[in-house]
Amino acid sequence: MRKPLACTVIFVFCTSTVSLCGCWGRLELQDTAFVVLMGLDAVQSSSGEPLPTSEAGLEVTQAIAISRALPSGRDGGGGRGPAPMVVLPMVAPNLTVAGESIEESVSRRVRTTHVEALIVGEALARQGLEDVLDQTLRYSNLRHTIHVIIAEGSARELITSLAPSIEVGPWTEARKAVQSIQGRVSNQLHLHDLLVSSSSKSKDAMLPMMRTWQEIAVGGGESAARPGRGPAITGVAVFKDATMVGKLDEVEAAHALMLHGSFRRAFMSYPLSASADDGVLSNRNLVGIEWDSVKAQKRVTMIGERAAINVNLDMEGGVMEARGDVDLTSPEGVRRLERQVAQSVRFHCQRVVEKVQREMAGADIFYFGDVLRTTFKTWDEWEKFDWPKRFQEAVVTINVTVHLRRPGLTLQNPWKLH
Amino acid sequence: MSPSTHNLGYTETVALLAAYTGSKVFTSCPSQLVYLSSTSAWITAMLSVIPAALGVIAIYRFVDRFDGITFQRCVELTIGKPLGKMVGLGFLSLILGMDAIALREFSAGFKSAILPETPLNAIIVLGEAVTAYTATLGLEPLGRFIAIAFLPLSILLLAIVFGAFHMELSIAELFPLWGTGAEHTVLGSVQCSSLYADIFAFALLVPYVREEKAGQRLHAGLVSLGLSGLAMAIAIAVGMMSFTAPTLAQMLFPVLQLARLFLSGIFLERIEAIFVFAWLFFGSIKVAFGHWLAASLAADIIGVKRWTAFVWPSAVITYFLAIQPENLTDLFVFQVTVLRSVGWLVAYVLPAVLLGIAGLRGIGSK
Amino acid sequence: MGWWGKILDWFNQEPAMPFSLDPEVPPIKVKGKGATGSYSPGAQEEAGTTGESEQGSSKPGILQKVGSFFSRKGKGDEGARGPAPEEPSVAPDLDKNLLTVRRILHTDRNSDVIIREFLLPVGKGIRAAFVFIDGMVNLRAVNADILRPLLDPDFAARLARGLAAGNVEKLFPAAATTLHDSMRKVVTETLMGNLALFVDGLGKALVVDVKGWEKRPISEPVTERVVIGPHEAFAETLKVNITMLRRILRTPDLICELLEVGKVTHTQVAIFHIEHITNPRLVNEVKRRISSIKASYVAESAILDQLIDVPRFWMVPHAVLTERPDRFAGAVAEGYVGIMVDHSPFGLVVPITIADFFSSAEDIYLRPPAPTFLKLIRASGMLATLILPGLYIAAVTFHHEMIPSVLLQAIAASKEGVPTPTPLAVFAGELGFDFIREAGVRVPSPVGPTIGIVGALLIGDAAVRASLLAPVTVIIIAVTAVASFTIPNQDVATLVRIFKYVFIVAGSTFGILGIGLLLYVVGVYLCSLRSFGVPIVAPVIAGGPSARDVVARRAVWKMEHRPRFLRPEGIRRQPPVSRTWTLARPLRPCKRK
């Protein structure tokens, strides 16, 4: 009879502890409000200057999903009624206080466990995010897999523009907006990437930048009547450790990704030089290419104290648009076009590297350091080597090979045949 | 107590020992190793297996000299009763201490990971009650349970880590290969073998392994040690590849953090619920087996047969030990400094010394 | 011995060995003390009241004391009457015998006891009488085969000669006749439907088998219906059931041993095993347990099932209960021991393993991998029944962060405006479902399905419309309900339904931690169970090809071994090549010359 007795003791113990102390942390979904988007901005002075966070605190904007407006099985589809998000801005000394004080203005417990994206204003990003992000890494509620977006302008404005218009739920909307960026302008979308890049000396992060723009009214009905403001990708913000040091536009970002080796599919257009080798690019001759695969082979060697970086890009793609004097009907024409495109790509890549080296304190967004550190034996040597400083002086050589595998569905523009 | 049940098969022994030794990967142990030896931590984890394996061989040779009697009796026969009992008490306190540390770390992990508002005390007491109850059921059910659960759980964990990992695993983060220098790594591995000090449980387990499997006893000990070494090395390597060494060294529950990174597609995310079960099972088995070890050793030291009487007392002692550290930093530093330097001496060197004494005095049948 | 001595004694008691099917456990040499602790079944019988008390779980001394205390107290009411100081034997005097029979059978009040006195037409006539219970014998047989010959002078003369020669039992034209001199035995036989014949001066009673009572014919199984396979089920009559088994297992090695259990019921229990296949230790253990039962009422297999289990098994079934002769026979042929109880249409198969929780009678008739797939479905159905409600509560009240965002979006929307706390809603929903289920069983069968539909559809829908339950909660309850019907073993299904509530409590107090810890406890508890010496998780953990067959069944011709965990005497079921035609040279088309 000992086992039943033991079971009874355990059962009585469990039930009594629970009934005496209550169920810790139990929270019904009906009593919870979920933050979908969180925006962080630096507080601006009366003259519009951003103030340091240590003095003025943060401007925290939280977009909370309204559960009753979410699409549910009961009514069949959403989209009508109130907008499914409410945006609540506030100024608080730090994130913790912001999380506490938002509950004063919302009748429910506010949870940040389902934050889809953290949007950081550019001004704040340039001040550095180390201290601001401490809570997000220390507290288990905010996950490392949330997206981080840098807002050109203020985060608050961007959040307002991200209110769902096409997708029915706020999460799906925010997520799809972010995922469209992946592999095209930036491959680093998550808080985790920022954490890794800022703690590693051999690499730096580039996070997507977005701004608001006037939305084009799509379709009929209500949404056509009120064209809203929507988000648009403008490029990437380059970080050195956890501080933003500069930005690249979309084309530059794409080429940085190519050098990094994580470029995926994208459609890009290149102006060509008039003749094969004169090197002057013009928009009169232009070719649109959809890249299928871009392979980057990086080699870093030390020549004395200077690092010599050699990147071989092997690119494959298909022609999607051809304007001007582009000949795809003969093999020679294709070879010529390939050379022209390769030249154009090399030009872009070279420009990005130089820009980063010169203007952005040598933030290694191309992960050249990763290649170099494998040759080191101990951690101390690597630390002393001080790669970020040396990258600024490194010589970068880029070779590009382009293979245009497909000319599209036609060899020649039919209107140009005669 | 004479080991009257010889029902622990080879699989059960391996699973039990591997779970007992290897479940440290769920605590802060991987971080501690990275803290000590930087990017070469995963090499250290594998190299440390070698001194530990020598320790296991010493333990086995010592217990094997005496046919089928418990470790405590062996010790008492070798160095006399009074001294033997003192040595036994030393081992007992080591087991209780490691049990308490495991309990505290696992409970704290659960609190910070999944139940932030539940008092730590409640989680510790609940875990203590559950593990002590299962410990009273005996060694055999524990072994059987973990033998069944071990393989699926391990495959699941590996699948989470490798198969369905969305985040980029940067191999470059494993370099520089010899983080603190090759010499330091190799020498440090002796001290770091304290990491596997739990394999000392093998000494107490040997007489319970089924007779027909006697030839495989040593094999079981070594295989389980190897498995835990492999688990530790994989955890550290993957942790470094996704977090970088400096960050990993500061993390308290690196494997949990890894599981929280899982993100595959739009729906398969946030699957740490599955991981939590693996964590729970390994943690519970570790603590419950610790209770069993403590209870059976205590019964041996006192010289009575009813070891079940000591399970609940050992649970109470473990509870009070577990709530001793004021915070996790204390525990972390204590483990890095005290346990790392003392653990290997107690777990491997002491049995080796005992083996030497037994050999010199010619005690034992073989 | 003072109290201190008692405590010391308690501490020093060796935990009893679990019963094991292993051929022998080698003795352990303990140096120093010179004591040897080797296992022998005899020692075990001395040790405790249960044959299977596990390590540390038994306190033989205390248990024995408690047991003897109860047995002392229970003597007064254990049976219909206390055992007489002397066993009454059949006397030569007929009157004395009839008086004893009348006294034992209470004929003054028992109106169905028929005692017919008559004179054998030999010489002056020998006084004789027979006794039977009305309704339990075949009256036509009594009249034609017993009374008529007895009243025939020729037969009576032969009988008189037989009486003198002592071979009277050979004269009757009945299939089974025996001579008994114990009055108690005679009365018991009478109560089983036999006829007892007393002849003045014989000193013994002749018992003639004339059983013939109303019985249910063999019908289709109710609880274990199959599509493929035989459609007959056991009936209530032991003899019929034995016949059905003999018809399947036509080997002379099939042993059917009869035991009698129950002080009041005197129920016949048949134990089946196959010589040279079944482990004799297993058979002996089964016989030992059954023969040592001192209960008064054992009229059904399910009652016997509870009487032969061990304390630790108090919740989990200890034997497979089946009403299908084919399944029963199949198990016996595998090396299991089968137990049939008279007046029960269910046979017991021991030992049970965890695979039996998920196996149905049809499994063997299906082609692989169908049985494996079905077992997996049942296992996941069981797991879902057990933890799904608890897991749901844990997820939506504690661990919002563990639900994928898009799923959370759907759940949160559906729970909006529902005031009921989730644990209460789930608890009430599950309880409501159990109401419906129980009501469906109780009400007359034409109404039964209606109750289910009304209950499930109307109440569920109304509760959602009234915002008492969230649609998700209803889905969870419905899935749990459907999943609970996938469990083939009724005992296990009920147990799982009960434990579902425990998981609900665990989930609503400690969230996923509670569920995980409870699952761990249940797992270790299951691992600690041994059914007749076989760990019930044996098929999952034991090595060898035989164990795999229990979990994941292969083609019949590939299953060459009997389950090894039963330690059968004949491990091989069939030779390595069972389909010998595959060895023959393949047929080739004749070449035309």
In eight-state DSSP terms, residue C211 is B
Residues of B in contact with C402 (CB under 8 A): 114, 270-273
Q: Which of the other chains make 3 or more beta carbon contacts under 8 angstroms with chain B?
A: A, C
Number of other CB atoms surrounding residue A4 within 10 Å: 12
Taking a C-beta distance cutoff of 8 angstroms, is the pair C382, C496 a contact?
yes
Residues A143, A271 share a domain: no
- Residue A253 in any domain: the answer is no
Final residue belonging to a domain, choices C156, C190, C208: C208
Q: Is C311 on the interface with A (CB under 8 A)?
A: yes
Residues A197, A276 share a domain: no
**Predicted TM-score (pTM) of this structure:** 0.84
> How far is it, in rounded angstroms, from Cα A122 to Cα C435?
61
Residues C110, C62 share a domain: no
Q: Is C312 on the interface with A (CB under 8 A)?
A: yes
Domain count along chain C:
4
Structure tokens at A158: 């961007």
Q: Residues with Cβ < 8 Å from C56, sequence gap 6 or more?
A: B136, B138, B306, B307, B308, C15
- Residue C358 in any domain: the answer is no
Q: Which of A10, A18, A379 to mutate to test the interface with B (most CBs of B within 10 A)?
A: A379
Domain span including residue A396: 260-418
Higher pLDDT, C479 or A325: C479
- Residue A23 in any domain: the answer is no
Answer yes or no: is pLDDT of B242 > 70.
Answer: yes
Residues C191, C313 share a domain: no
pLDDT score, position A228: 53
Over residues B248-275, mean pLDDT: 77
Q: Is C125 on the interface with A (CB under 8 A)?
A: no
Higher pLDDT, A408 or A246: A246
Residues of C in contact with B137 (CB under 8 A): 54, 524-525, 528
Share of chain B above pLDDT 90, in %: 19
> How far is it, in rounded angstroms, from Cα A32 to Cα A65?
10
Q: Which of B34, B128, B137, B173 to mutate to test the interface with A (most CBs of A within 10 A)?
A: B173
pLDDT score, position A77: 42
- Residue A342 in any domain: the answer is yes
How do strand A147-151 and strand A206-214 relate by DSSP bridges? parallel
Number of other CB atoms surrounding residue B328 within 10 Å: 16
pLDDT score, position C210: 84
Residue A217 φ/ψ region, left for φ over 0, alpha for ψ in the -120 to 50 degree band, beta for the rest? beta
Number of other CB atoms surrounding residue C82 within 10 Å: 10
Higher pLDDT, C28 or C424: C424
- Residue C44 in any domain: the answer is yes
Taking a C-beta distance cutoff of 8 angstroms, is the pair A319, A413 a contact?
no
Final residue belonging to a domain, choices A224, A248, A272: A248
Q: Is A178 on the interface with B (CB under 8 A)?
A: no
Residues C192, C63 share a domain: no
pLDDT score, position C55: 38
Residues of C in contact with A169 (CB under 8 A): 406, 409
Q: What is the count of residue pairs from B and C with beta carbons less than 8 Å apart?
A: 162
Are B2 and C37 inside 8 Å of each other by CB? yes
Answer yes or no: is pLDDT of B160 > 80.
Answer: no
Alpha helices in A360-411 (DSSP H): 368-373, 379-385, 387-391
What's the per-residue H, E or C state across B312-332? HHHHHHHHHHHCCCCCHHHHH
| CA atoms within 13 Å, Cβ hemisphere of C295 | 16
Answer yes or no: is pLDDT of A90 > 80.
Answer: yes
Strand partners, C269: C259, C341
Residues A351, A204 share a domain: no
Are B130 and A195 inside 8 Å of each other by CB? no
H-run or E-run covering C4? helix C3-12
Q: What is the DSSP string of C362-397?
A: GGGGSPTTHHHHHHHHHHHHHHHHHHHHHHHHHHHH
- Residue C427 in any domain: the answer is yes
For residue C257, the SS3 value is strand
Answer yes or no: is pLDDT of C84 > 50.
Answer: no
What's the per-residue H, E or C state across chain B? CCCCCCCECHHHHHHHHHHHHHHHHHCCHHHHHHHHHHHHHHHHHHHCHHHHHHHHHHHHHHHHHCCCCCHHHHHHHHHCHHHHHHHHHHHHHHHHHHHHHHHHHHHHHHHHHCCCCCCHHHHHHHHHHHHHHHHHCCHHHHHHHHHHHHHHHHHHHHHHHHHCCCCCCCHHHHCCCCCCCHHHHHHHHHHHHHHHHHHHHHHHHHHHECHHHHHHHHHHHHHHHHHHHHHHHHHHHHHHHHHCHHHHCCCCCHHHHHHHCCEECCCEECCHHHHHHHHHHHHHHHHHHHHHHHHHHHHHHHCCCCHHHHHHHHHHHHHHHHCCCCCHHHHHHHHHHHHHHHHHHHHHHHHHHHHHHHHHHCCCCC
Place of tokens 């749990």: C480
Q: Residues with Cβ < 8 Å from C457, sequence gap 6 or more?
A: none
Q: With a CB-CB cutoff of 8 Å, which residues 374-413 of chain C face chain B?
A: 395, 398-399, 401-407
Q: Please, which pLDDT band fits residue B340 given cuts at 50, 70 and 90?
A: confident
Q: Residues with Cβ < 8 Å from B298, sequence gap 6 or more?
A: B92, B307, B310, B313, B314
Residues C390, C469 share a domain: yes
Q: Please, which pLDDT band fits residue A314 given cuts at 50, 70 and 90?
A: very high
For A1-15, A217-231, B230-244, which range has the lowest pLDDT when averaged over its residues?
A: A217-231
- The shortest C-alpha distance from A235 to chain B (Å) reads 22
For A35-49, A130-144, A145-159, C420-434, which range has the lowest pLDDT when averaged over its residues?
A: A130-144
- Residue A5 in any domain: the answer is no
Answer yes or no: is pLDDT of A43 > 50.
Answer: yes
- Residue C78 in any domain: the answer is no
For B120-129, C122-131, C500-509, which range has the lowest pLDDT when averaged over its residues?
A: C122-131
Are A382 and B176 inside 8 Å of each other by CB? yes
The string of pLDDT tens digits covering residues A116-174 is: 888 899 888 888 888 877 777 777 678 888 888 888 888 888 887 776 554 556 666 66
Q: What is the DSSP string of A83-136?
A: -SEEEEEEEESSHHHHHHHHHHHSSSEEE-TT--EEEEEHHHHHH-STTTTHHH
Residues A310, A212 share a domain: no
C397, C401, C471 ranked by CB distance to A26: nearest:
C397
Taking a C-beta distance cutoff of 8 angstroms, is the pair B331, B101 a contact?
yes
Q: Residues with Cβ < 8 Å from B330, sequence gap 6 or more?
A: none
Q: Which of the other chains make 3 or more beta carbon contacts under 8 angstroms with chain A?
A: B, C
- Residue A8 in any domain: the answer is no
Residues A271, A224 share a domain: no
Place of tokens 């298909």: A318
Final residue belonging to a domain, choices C352, C379, C406: C352
Q: Please, which pLDDT band fits residue A327 given cuts at 50, 70 and 90?
A: confident
Residues A269, A215 share a domain: no
CA-based nearest residue to C297, from C264, C343, C269: C264
> How far is it, in rounded angstroms, from Cα C379 to Cα C372?
10
Answer yes or no: is pLDDT of A229 > 80.
Answer: no
For A102-106, A352-356, B132-136, B208-212, which range has the lowest pLDDT when averaged over its residues?
A: B208-212
Q: Please, which pLDDT band fits residue C384 given cuts at 50, 70 and 90?
A: very high
Final residue belonging to a domain, choices A220, A248, A276: A248
Residues C520, C405 share a domain: yes
A18, A23, A29 ranked by CB distance to C411: nearest:
A29
Number of H helices, E strands in chain C: 21, 14
Q: Is A34 on the interface with C (CB under 8 A)?
A: yes
The string of pLDDT tens digits covering residues C338-352 is: 999 988 999 999 888
Nearest chain B residue to C509 by CA: give it: B118
Taking a C-beta distance cutoff of 8 angstroms, is the pair C488, C378 a contact?
yes
Answer yes or no: is pLDDT of A111 > 60.
Answer: yes
Taking a C-beta distance cutoff of 8 angstroms, is the pair C339, C328 a contact?
no
- Write out the E strands in C47-137: 113-120, 126-133
pLDDT score, position C234: 92
> How far is it, in rounded angstroms, from Cα C50 to Cα B145?
25
Are B308 and C519 inside 8 Å of each other by CB? no
Residues C342, C199 share a domain: no
Work out whether the CA dihedral C204, C210, C215, C221 comes out positive or negative. positive
Over residues A78-99, mean pLDDT: 73
Residues A274, A224 share a domain: no
- Residue A270 in any domain: the answer is yes
The string of pLDDT tens digits covering residues A199-209 is: 888 888 888 88
Taking a C-beta distance cutoff of 8 angstroms, is the pair B2, C17 a contact?
no
Place of tokens 């029915």: A168
Domain count along chain A:
2
Angle between helices A250-260 and A331-359 (to 10 degrees): 100
Residues A71, A129 share a domain: yes
Residues of B in contact with C13 (CB under 8 A): 305-306
Mean pLDDT computed over every residue of chain C = 80
Residues A275, A230 share a domain: no
- Residue A11 in any domain: the answer is no
Distances from the Cα of B343 to the Cα of A255, B75, B193, B201, C284, angstroms: 54, 19, 8, 13, 51
Residues A365, A223 share a domain: no
- Residue A83 in any domain: the answer is yes
> How far is it, in rounded angstroms, from Cα B100 to Cα B95?
9
Nearest-5° angle of CA C533, CA C539, CA C542?
80
Answer yes or no: is pLDDT of B315 > 60.
Answer: yes
Higher pLDDT, C34 or C212: C212
pLDDT score, position A220: 42
Nearest chain B residue to C516 by CA: give it: B277
- Residue C77 in any domain: the answer is no
Residues C167, C124 share a domain: yes
Final residue belonging to a domain, choices C293, C323, C352: C352
CA A180 to mean position of chain CA atoms: 10
Residues A274, A206 share a domain: no
Q: Please, which pLDDT band fits residue C588 given cuts at 50, 70 and 90?
A: low
pLDDT score, position A324: 75
- Residue C142 in any domain: the answer is yes
Residues A332, A207 share a domain: no
Final residue belonging to a domain, choices A199, A223, A248: A248
Residue ranges of domains in chain B, CATH in brackets: 3-361 (1.20.1740.10)
Q: Is A260 on the interface with B (CB under 8 A)?
A: no
CA-based nearest residue to C527, from B311, B137, B284: B137
Domain span including residue C524: 370-535
pLDDT score, position C122: 81
Q: How much is the CA Rg of chain B, to the nearest whole Å?
A: 20
Are A25 and B116 inside 8 Å of each other by CB? yes
